[in-house]
Structure 1
Amino acid sequence: MALRVVQWATGGVGAAAVRATLEHPDLELVGCRVYSGDKAGRDVGHIIGGDRLGVTATDSIDEILALDADAVVYTPLMANPDEVAALLRSGKNVVTPVGWLYPSERSGAALRAAALEGGATLHGTGIAPGGMSEKFPLMLSAMSTGVTFVRAEEFSDLRTYQAPNVLRHVMGFGGPPEQALTGPMQKMLDAGFIQAVRMCVDQLGFAAEPRVRSAQEVAVATTTIDSPIGLIEAGQVAARRFRWEALVEGDVVVQVAVNWLMGEENLDPAWTFGFEGQRYEMEVRGNPDFTVSVKGFQSEHGDQGPESGVVGTAAHCVNSVPAVCAAPPGIATYLDLPMISGKAAPRFRPPLVAPD
């Protein structure tokens, strides 16, 4: 029997998660929660620009809670812990890219209690954080001994990110530097990336200081730059860097960083992606030292279609559903789950055999 899945929110990640659920041989889409009155009552296939699926979207949380479903792929822009708790208490497993990658006992206590009450499991995943920032560096570290340093770093051109309101009003692009540096982005990113650093610290066994050090920088345009939010004028923010570090007696042992640029030209300071271009880069220092670059999750400027990283985020969530549904109730991190993989495209799968 296929696992019955509800999609919560149909933005970029949500729409990609619907498509991923439809492609997964072990999952069935049975419901969808939307925020817009214009989407409520419509077929989910039409909402994501496809054919009719026979699943009607609703803006009623009560309808979703009452639905017979095994799991919810929860992908709003911002997490609401009360919503997640209600889903868990209703007996629905929750997989999400917006939090709870590696919560502390204190920060996860309420949701852990809700999960135990409902006999359900909560799992935080994604791409960065949620994969490239901690899961994959830890996997790679298995090929080195005497590890002294682990780094995970993103290099992305945000001219491909088609979310102008988020870019301007949340991420601080196109405004004055002082506004970006005092805006909400650092605090919003801290929640996930600090958990990513702590997961690496704990799993690798570093005697790191309890506090994770964070820092941010901005670069401004030196002349007009075209972008998804329109023209960024000289002196306005056109690139951002964030960094999180764990230290042992002053030595950085784990570092996670992001570099978000509106292209590589006309920036002050003159930041670039380097000769390798856009990528996720993971470094392990030990015996031996090595660096791994992963390309393909960042679309190139001018490409049409969904941002590859958005699709990857959705796929990581959807492919995790069977393992999360099989896990004991509570909060499950990557450290608690078996290896998760994608599934073959339908035309490459064995034919279905009808039961006797």
Structure 2
Amino acid sequence: MVSTVIWGTGNVGRAAIRAVEAHPALKLVGVLVHDPAKAGRDAGDLASLGYEVGVAATTDVDAVLSASPRAVVYAASGDLRPDAALADVIGVLRMGAVVVTPSLYALYDQRSAPPALQAEVRAAIAEGGGSLFVSGVDPGWGNDVLPLLISGLGSVIDAVRCQEIFDYSTYDQPDSVRYLVGMGQPMDYEPPMLAPTVPSMVWGGQVRLMARALGVELDDLRESVQRRPLETTVTTPEMGEFAAGTQGAARFEVQGMVGGEPRIVVEHVTRIHPSCAPDWPSPPSGEGAHRVIIEGRPRIEVTVEATDEGGNRSAGGNATAAGRLVNAIDWLVTAGPGLYDALDVPLRPAAGRLGRKHP
């Protein structure tokens, strides 16, 4: 079995623990946390498994990595600490481990990553014999393998649109919701996630990857950002009050332009309450969904709704993102050292897991 460490136990890390526990080819051997309050707690407790797995969380990175795990799921956030996240991953690659992570945005499409970054990662792989696969948390499969799979069902493709549509009121990252995305902030506040060039920096790689798979050359990337205020004050169960007049919804697109037209689009529509921006796309039910629309002949629309942790849609999205990463580990071990992307790593059936007891 592949000895596997989970580094970080936030939204993705919790789901990764459950995914590793369920995978017949993987064995959880370590859990790394940043918060000292989590240290000493069993992984099963942290991931709400309902039973203990016999692996206690620790803040001691050196102790866990000194045991030479074969794989590391790096689930620590890279939003506000991209250099530190990269340094962590580079260190693990130099030890020869397989690393899967959503935290290095520039490597969603590793071929279009900055040359200096590519060189640094490849040097670490050459030195240690590890491998790296980066896939998005929004989730990655919704912006790469799913739209590409569905595109193969049509005869004429005019445009590809990938949507994440979510109510953020139940999202378990209040700092990200309020400050990165700007919910509840004055309308003259510029949320870092919506600042010019940032959407393209984060999601542009996925647009480029789809373009490469579809065999088209992009003219460039363009961004479209819209924000709406709340008309009334709302109170959320997780994050408290959001005042009328402050930002209640945000919508942005990263558009891959071909022949002057937006042909490949990644779009996010986020709200803190369903009453804000009701004219924007909404999920069929509940608080969130991922949707792929293939404009062409025929027109194809597929909506995916995933739930986890008591029916939560945000948790469901995180779980599928973690599943894509965790389920790639045994393939990466067999494939050998390298820098991989979503076009390299197949999405495979869940062999050996049908009818298996839920972790």
Name the TM-score class by shorter chain: 0.7 to 0.9
User: What are the Cα deviations for residues 160-203 of structure 1, in whole angstroms up to 9, with x where unaligned?
Assistant: 21222221122211011221x35344465433310010011111
Match of 2:324 in 1: 316
Q: Give the one of 240, 262, 273 matched to 2:250.
A: 240
User: Within 5 Å, which residues of 2 pair with 1:98-117?
Assistant: 98-99=103-104, 100-103=107-110, 104=112, 106=115, 107-117=117-127
Give the stretch that moved more between structures: 121-130 or 2-11.
121-130
What secondary structure does 2:45 align onto? helix
Residue equivalent to 1:291: 301
What are the within-5 Å matches in structure 2 for residues 156-195 of structure 1? 156-179=166-189, 181-186=190-195, 189-195=199-205
Query: For residues 56 and 280 of structure 2, what CA distance do their matches in structure 1 show?
Result: 45
2:39 aligned residue: 40
- State the alpha-carbon separation in 2 of the partners of residues 119 and 335 from structure 1: 21
Shift of residue 303, structure 1, vs aligned partner:
5.1
Contact 1:75–1:96 (CA under 8 A) maintained in structure 2: yes
Say whether 1:254 aligns with 2:264: yes
CA distance in structure 2 between the partners assigned to 1:67 and 1:120 by the alignment:
15
Aligned to 1:134: 144
> Counterparts of 2:349 and 2:200 in 1: how far apart (Å)?
28
Say if 1:51 and 1:182 are closer, same or farther in 2 by CA, change over 3 A. Answer: closer
Is the contact made by 1:216 and 1:241 (CA closer than 8 Å) also made in structure 2?
yes
1:265-344 matches, cutoff 5 A: 265=275, 267=276, 269-274=277-282, 276-277=284-285, 278-297=288-307, 307-344=315-352
User: How has the CA–CA distance of structure 1 residues 101 and 342 changed in structure 2, closer, same or farther, with 3 Å as cutoff?
Assistant: farther
Matched, 1:90 2:95: yes
Match of 2:58 in 1: 58
Distance 1:248 1:305 in 2: 34
* 1:3-33 CA distance string (max 9 Å, x none): 1100001112111111111111111001111
8 Å contact from structure 1 (residues 279, 298) kept in 2: no
1:215 aligned onto 2:224: yes
CA distance in 2, matches of 1:110, 1:39: 32
C-alpha distance in 2 between matches for 1:125 and 1:341: 18
Q: Which amino acid aligns with 1:337?
A: V
The residue type equivalent to 2:164 in the other structure is E
Rounded Cα–Cα distance in structure 1 between residues aligned with 2:41 and 2:239: 29
Computed over aligned residues only, the root mean square deviation of the Cα atoms, in angstroms, reads: 2.5
Percent sequence identity over matched residues?
A: 29
Q: Kindly provide the amino acid, as one letter, of the partner of residue 102 in structure 1.
A: D
Distance between the aligned counterparts of 2:268 and 2:39, measured in 1? 36
1:286-322 CA-to-partner distances (Å, cap 9, x unmatched) read 44332222223599xx956972112222222211111
Indicate conservation of the 8 Å contact 2:290/2:304, yes or no: yes
2: CA distance between counterparts of 1:337 and 1:314?
Answer: 14
Q: Residue 260 of structure 1: CA displacement?
A: 0.4
The reply to whether residue 120 of structure 1 matches residue 127 of structure 2 is no
Taking a change above 3 Å as real, the CA distance of residues 189 and 53 of structure 1, as seen in their structure-2 partners, is farther
Could you tell me whether the CA contact under 8 Å between 1:129 and 1:192 is conserved in 2? no
Structure 2 counterpart of 1:231, which letter? Answer: E
Aligned partners of 1:219 and 1:237 also within 8 Å: yes
The 2-side partners of 1:156 and 1:235 are apart by: 20
- Please, what TM-score do these two structures have when normalized by structure 2? 0.87
Are the structure 2 counterparts of residues 188 and 229 from structure 1 closer, same or farther at C-alpha, using a change threshold of 3 Å? Answer: farther
What secondary structure sits across from 1:112 in the alignment? helix
Identify if the C-alpha distance between structure 1 residues 189 and 31 changes in structure 2 by more than 3 Å, giving closer, same or farther. farther
Report the equivalent of 1:352.
Answer: none
- Structure 2 CA distance, aligned partners of 1:3 and 1:188? 36
Q: Return the alpha-carbon distance in structure 2 between the equivalents of residues 219 and 298 of structure 1.
A: 29
Seen in structure 2, the aligned counterparts of structure 1 residues 249 and 126 have a Cα distance that, compared at 3 Å, is closer
* Match of residue 274, structure 2, among 261, 264, 269: 264
CA contact (8 A) 2:4 2:70 kept: yes
Aligned-pair CA distance for 1:54: 2.1
Q: 1:131-153, CA deviations, whole angstroms, 9 ceiling, x for partnerless residues?
A: 10122101111112342311111
Could you tell me which amino acid in structure 2 is paired with residue 208 of structure 1? Answer: L
The number of residue pairs the alignment matches comes to: 342
Letter in structure 1 aligned against 2:109: Y
Counterpart amino acid of 2:225? Q
Distance 2:167 2:348 in 1: 28
